[in-house]
């Protein structure tokens, strides 16, 4: 029986406790939060054996094999070090760490102790994401990806978290290097990182505060981000984060030399885009019909999964945890490669560095709209 512990009893810890509870062969020996009341509320709502407000007590009394770190991002690194040093495998929620350097250090520490790590990029293990990966691995794209587009949008008005953040000038998210973006974009960036083939892509960033946020006096939170990622003369990618565009997409498009794929996370649909077009006029009939057929097939797949009782909101997380635990048991490869974790952190570092430079620029010039049109902001920072 694998003994599991959770550190950090906020919103995402609920999802972890629920998904761990769906897996056989493991039990939650303890949950921990600096705030004892928070630890207690999680303990009371889930089958958990004990609750703690001190990490060392949790590690000593619960003796977990695996620890899930679901606390706020700035604490990830320090807590992971403590857990690794105590001999535990560690699952760290996204963002893995605050910077690439910390990510590398953790990976080295884990490797030196023969322990496993994973990052909470659970969207990449949803049913539809697994179907997409399978097709790519089978060569559906016809070669190395030529171009990718990752949309990760965020509806501020729908989120009480965003309301709290916007209304609170001292909210913890504001102290992260990338602020709101830091806490959210890693899902969308990791999707791109998975299919990049080199380790030093260049990154060009444009970011601004939307007029809507400015209208409520917000001057700190960038909520519109566009990124171009490119590997010298090879794969390119666009990343879009937006709080304003509608629909608020969570979509990934990947195009190879032969065919392309569109994954829609919200609809759980995967659409194949065959590179070969129908003859002339037929394209206007045959292709839409084939798309209609594909959408119907996606509905059928979703219904089947639902009836098989495996269509929970966070079933991707269940799969990721399951694979992580399996990799621990078999001492196999972790479900997310360390290269991908580091590359995601590297791209995020580059994004935030440029946004900071942009901000410095706009403060210097006194122009709040200073944009990548200025040569400095356009500077392409290689990710090393």
- The answer to whether 24 contacts other proteins (rule: CB under 8 A) is no
- The answer to whether 23 contacts other proteins (rule: CB under 8 A) is no
- The answer to whether 306 contacts other proteins (rule: CB under 8 A) is yes
- The answer to whether 102 contacts other proteins (rule: CB under 8 A) is no
- The answer to whether 37 contacts other proteins (rule: CB under 8 A) is yes
Which of 4, 7, 29, 38 touches other proteins (CB under 8 A)? 38
Which of 245, 287, 302, 311 touches other proteins (CB under 8 A)? 311
- The answer to whether 309 contacts other proteins (rule: CB under 8 A) is yes
Stretch that binds other proteins, among 74-82, 164-172, 180-188, 228-236 (CB under 8 A): 164-172
Which of 138, 157, 216, 276 touches other proteins (CB under 8 A)? 216
Q: What are 142's strand-pairing partners? A: none
CB 126 within 8 A of CB 305: no
Which of 2, 3, 10, 210 touches other proteins (CB under 8 A)? 10
- The answer to whether 295 contacts other proteins (rule: CB under 8 A) is no
Which of 24, 143, 169, 366 touches other proteins (CB under 8 A)? 169
Least Å distance between CB 192 and other proteins? 29
Alpha carbon separation from 289 to 31, 131, 276, 285, 302 (Å, rounded):
52, 22, 15, 6, 20
Contact residues for other proteins (CB under 8 A)?
9-11, 13-14, 18, 22, 35, 37-38, 41-42, 44-45, 160-161, 164, 166-170, 216-217, 306, 309, 311-313
């Amino acid at each position: 029986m694998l003994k599991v512990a959770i550190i950090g009893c906020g919103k995402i810890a609920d999802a972890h406790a629920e998904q761990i509870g769906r897996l056989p062969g493991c039990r939650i020996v303890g949950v921990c939060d600096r705030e004892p009341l928070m630890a207690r509320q999680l303990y009371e709502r889930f089958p958990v054996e004990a609750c703690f407000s001190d990490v060392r007590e949790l590690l000593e009394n619960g003796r977990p094999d695996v620890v899930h770190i679901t606390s706020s991002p700035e604490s990830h690194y320090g807590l992971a070090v403590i857990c690794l040093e105590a001999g535990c495998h560690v699952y760290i929620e996204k963002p893995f760490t605050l910077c690439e350097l910390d990510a590398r250090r953790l990976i080295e520490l884990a490797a030196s102790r023969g322990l496993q790590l994973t990052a909470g990029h659970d969207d990449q293990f949803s049913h539809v994401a697994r179907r997409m990966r399978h097709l790519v691995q089978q060569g559906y794209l016809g070669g190395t990806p030529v171009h990718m587009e990752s949309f990760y949008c965020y509806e501020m008005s729908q989120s009480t978290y965003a309301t709290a953040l916007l209304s609170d000038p001292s909210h913890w998210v504001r102290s992260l290097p990338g602020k709101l973006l830091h806490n959210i974009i890693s899902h969308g960036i990791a999707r791109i990182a998975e299919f990049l083939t080199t380790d030093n892509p260049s990154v060009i960033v444009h970011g601004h505060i939307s007029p809507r946020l400015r209208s409520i006096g917000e001057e700190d939170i960038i909520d519109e981000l566009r990124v171009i990622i490119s590997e010298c003369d090879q794969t390119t990618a666009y990343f879009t984060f937006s709080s304003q565009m509608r629909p608020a997409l969570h979509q990934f498009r990947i195009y190879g030399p032969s065919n392309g794929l569109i994954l829609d996370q919200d609809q759980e649909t995967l659409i194949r885009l065959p590179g070969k077009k129908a003859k002339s006029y037929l394209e206007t009939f045959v292709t839409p019909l084939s798309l209609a057929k594909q959408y119907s097939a996606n509905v059928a797949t979703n219904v089947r999964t639902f009836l098989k009782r495996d269509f929970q909101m966070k079933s991707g997380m269940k799969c990721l945890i399951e694979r992580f635990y399996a990799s621990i048991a078999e001492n196999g490869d972790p479900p997310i490669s360390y290269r991908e974790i580091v590359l995601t952190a590297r791209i995020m570092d580059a994004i935030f560095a440029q946004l900071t430079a942009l901000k410095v620029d706009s403060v210097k010039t006194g122009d709040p709209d200073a944009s990548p049109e200025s040569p400095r902001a356009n500077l392409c920072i290689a990710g090393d």
